[in-house]
């Protein structure tokens, strides 16, 4: 049931927003189910766990089923990375859609606080190291970082901030988010929710200046 639920989410998220787009096919759902399973294996044991054999064992099927939908492990890894990035982007866009608070407060909600956020950050971090040696993953990684800065920049512009100031502030907020999240993942014992929020606000206040930071909380 876990994989089926996630497979439906992945398959639907890969579709366009066009109401005329056809519903996911059985092949779409099966492919998405493999990606959801791969993402879970990744979080549990790292990239080395994503193999056709492990996927088949976890999904209770033959490796032939996996190879029918994916040419090789590299394709599974790439699609899983895209899924992780898409899930992170959905969380980011949902946070920025809440205009009741400023950008700092909105992005603060993306820190690894909830189990779902910690899981997605952990998956993203596994891919981060792999992207250092894989140009395809590196390109996907760069796009995700760029889009985060662009979304936050647009949010700040919508509040009346000048273009140059908005871009600089967005970069500072993004840097604080990624830096603090990574520290927290490696030292969970000393990074509870209260400290995550406190350090994020302190870091953004230092980068933006106390007055600007206060207006974005």
Q: Under CATH, what is the fold of the domain 78-215?
A: Tetracycline Repressor; domain 2 (1.10.357)
DSSP secondary structure letters along the chain: -HHHHHHHHHHHHTS-S-TTSPPPPHHHHHHHHHHHHHHHHHHHH-GGG--HHHHHHHHTS-HHHHHHH-SSHHHHHHHHHHHHHHHHHHHHHHHHT-TTS-HHHHHHTTSS-SHHHHHHHHHHHHHHHHHTT-HHHHHHHHHHHHHHHHHHHHHHHHTT--HHHHHHHHHHHHHHHHHHHHHHHH-GGG--HHHHHHHHHHHHHHHH-HHHHHHT-
| Beta carbons of 87 and 93 less than 8 angstroms apart | no
Nearest to 147 by CA among 88, 196, 105, 197: 88
d(CA 137, CA 59): 26
Portions of the chain given CATH number 1.10.357.10: 78-215
Find the Cα–Cα–Cα–Cα dihedral 76, 80, 86, 90, rounded to 10°: 140
How many C-beta neighbours within 10 Å does residue 96 have?
19
Per-position pLDDT tens, the chain of length 217: 344 435 444 444 554 444 556 788 888 899 999 999 999 999 999 999 999 999 999 999 999 999 999 999 999 999 999 999 998 999 999 988 877 777 888 889 899 999 889 988 998 888 888 888 899 999 988 998 999 999 999 988 888 888 888 899 899 999 999 999 999 999 989 999 999 999 999 988 887 776 665 666 6
Could you give the angle at the alpha carbon of 133 between the alpha carbons of 129 and 134, nearest 5°? Answer: 100
At 20 the pLDDT is 55
Does the pTM surpass 0.85? The reply is no
d(CA 131, CA 165): 30
Residues 6+ apart with CB under 8 A from 129: none
Long-range contacts of 20-29 (CB under 8 A, 24+ apart): 27/69, 29/4
At 4 the pLDDT is 41
At 69 the pLDDT is 94
pLDDT in tens, 29-54: 999 999 999 999 999 999 999 999 99
d(CA 131, CA 137): 5
């Amino acid at each position: 049931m876990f994989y089926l639920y996630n497979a439906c989410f992945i398959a639907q998220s890969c579709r366009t927003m066009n109401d005329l787009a056809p519903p996911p096919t059985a092949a779409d759902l099966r492919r998405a189910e493999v990606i959801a399973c791969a993402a879970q294996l990744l979080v549990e044991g790292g990239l080395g766990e994503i193999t056709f054999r492990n996927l088949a064992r976890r999904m209770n099927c033959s490796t032939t089923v996996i190879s029918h939908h994916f040419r090789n492990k590299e394709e599974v890894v790439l699609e899983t990375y895209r899924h992780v990035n898409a899930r992170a982007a959905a969380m980011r866009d949902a946070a920025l859609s809440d205009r009741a608070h400023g950008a700092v407060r909105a992005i603060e909600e993306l820190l690894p606080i909830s189990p779902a956020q910690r899981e997605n950050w952990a998956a993203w971090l596994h891919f981060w190291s792999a992207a250092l040696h894989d140009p395809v993953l590196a390109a996907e990684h760069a796009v995700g970082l760029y889009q985060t800065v662009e979304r936050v920049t647009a949010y700040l512009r919508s509040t009346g901030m000048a273009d140059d100031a908005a871009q600089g502030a967005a970069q500072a907020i993004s840097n604080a988010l990624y830096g603090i999240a990574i520290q927290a993942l490696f030292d969970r014992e000393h990074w509870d929710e209260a400290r995550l929020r406190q350090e994020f606000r302190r870091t953004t206040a230092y980068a933006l200046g106390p007055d600007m930071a206060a207006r974005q909380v």
